[in-house]
Amino acid sequence: MAGYDILKIKQDFYKEAETVKSPTDIFNLRVKYLGRKGGILTKILRSLKDLSDEEKRKIGPEANAFKKEAELFLDNKEKELKEKVLNKNSFIDVSRPGKKINVGHLHPLTKVYFEIGKIFSSMGFEIVEGPEIETEWYNFDALNIPSDHPARDMWDTIWLKTENKESEFKSQNLLLRTHTSPVQIRYMENHRPPIKIISPGKVYRHEATDASHDFEFNQLEGLLIDKNISVANFKYVIEEFFKRFFRQILEIRFRPSYFPFVEPGFEIDLNLNGKWLEMMGAGMVHPQVLENAGLNSSIWQGFAFGMGIERLAMIKYKIPDIRLFRAGDLRFIRQF
Ligand code: FA5
């Protein structure tokens, strides 16, 4: 066997290395000489076993030394090239036009949240929050909703599996709150009247959706408890709110209705171009509810209301379908 001329291979390598301009060229050169499959040096080193002892002794060390040398050379060259690119990029051309940065903006519901908060705060209401995972007690029993009420049905309420009951919830069944009214009880338990709060938040119902109903939506709860509170106080507050929120006076209508946690109870509708739209449930807090929360109902009284926040936003921004709020469609979101 004639053996290999490592010196010649080395010369070829360095000649080719002179023309290297990019990381791709380095990669190609590396593959050509050191590649695991067809690399020139790799092949030589693999075939050493077929050479005579004398050749092995000569070529083996030469090839190995050159392999190391080539690797080092290529590594250094690669580093050098990368630094060159970096240096080039670090030049800042202040006259170049800037890149447009996409700036997000608030979701229409968030805007409505903020606006509601501002209006009620200016009327002296405090903004409080309650948990979205509720116990059956706070969502139903404490609000006087009897166990045979249809709202407690499997088909209206999203119940949670409660195998791992935490001690905080004792033996309570858990659910996703169906309205924000449980916050009334939670707040009254821990605060003495006078009470003047609103509580906005998400609620969940196990129901089919349509243009004005979703299974997940937002409600705004309001509660005012003091000594001489009447429906007239409620009427003033809610008319004032609508006037400021819609920036115009819309006709409203009080319609008698039934909610077990108020007495009397009513629903409030807004007149929109001759069509009445149901906005909220409301009423004077039922004495039993006050007692359930630890308040003396012969001293304290007040009103409560719960309205759909999406419905407010739909009227304000003329949105035809409630499901658009959560559809994640940027063509919708970008209009606000
Ligand atoms: C209640 O949820 C009562 N907790 C309201 C209440 C509070 C009454 C305090 C008395 C005192 P209702 O189920 O009617 O009531 O819902 C209240 C408002 O939420 C409705 O008027 C409507 O604006 C909105 N709403 C109800 N269901 C949906 C739904 N599926 N999708 C969107 N909005 C809804």
How far is ligand 1, taken at its centre, from the CA of residue 168, in Å? Answer: 28
Protein residue with least CA distance to atom 23, ligand 1: 308
Q: Which amino acid is at 145?
A: I
Ligand 1 centre distance from Cα of residue 308 (Å): 6
In terms of pTM, does the model score above 0.75? no
Residues classed as catalytic: 155, 179, 205, 219, 262, 304
Q: Which atom of ligand 1 is nearest to the CA of 205?
A: 30
* Nearest Cα residue to 1 out of 41, 42, 58, 40: 58
Ligand 1 atom closest to Cα of residue 207: 30
Indicate whether residue 311 lines ligand 1 (CB < 6 A).
yes
pLDDT over 80 (residue 48): yes
CA distances from 145 to 181, 182, 284 (A): 11, 11, 16
Averaged pLDDT score across all residues of the chain? 91
Q: What is the pLDDT of residues 116-148, one digit of tens each?
A: 999 999 999 999 999 999 999 999 999 999 888
CA of 294 to the centre of ligand 1 (A): 25
Q: How far apart are CA 96 and CA 152, in angstroms?
A: 64
How many angstroms does the Cα of residue 323 sit away from the middle of ligand 1? 16
Decide: 283 in ligand 1 pocket, CB within 6 A.
yes
Phi, psi of 239 (to 5 degrees): -65, -40
Query: In angstroms, what CA-CA distances link 219 with 65, 69, 163, 203?
Result: 77, 73, 29, 7
Q: Name 200's bridge partners.
A: 220
Pocket of ligand 1 contains residue 263 by CB under 6 Å: no
At 244-297, the pLDDT tens digits run 999 999 899 999 999 999 999 999 999 988 989 899 999 999 999 999 999 999
Can you tell me the distance from the alpha carbon of 162 to that of 169, in angstroms, rounded to the nearest whole number?
10
CB neighbourhood size of 224 (10 A):
23
Q: Which atom belonging to ligand 1 lies closest to the Cα atom of 285?
A: 11
Lowest-confidence region among 56-65, 77-86, 176-185, 318-327: 77-86
What's the rounded Cα separation, in Å, for the pair 189 and 168?
Answer: 16
pLDDT at 109 over 90: yes
User: Alpha helix locations (H) across 212-325?
Assistant: 231-246, 287-292, 309-317
12-36 as b/e: b if 16+ CB within 10 A: ebeeebeebeeeeebeebbeebbbe
Q: What is the pLDDT of residues 166-225, one digit of tens each?
A: 555 555 789 999 999 999 999 999 999 999 999 999 999 998 999 999 999 999 999 999
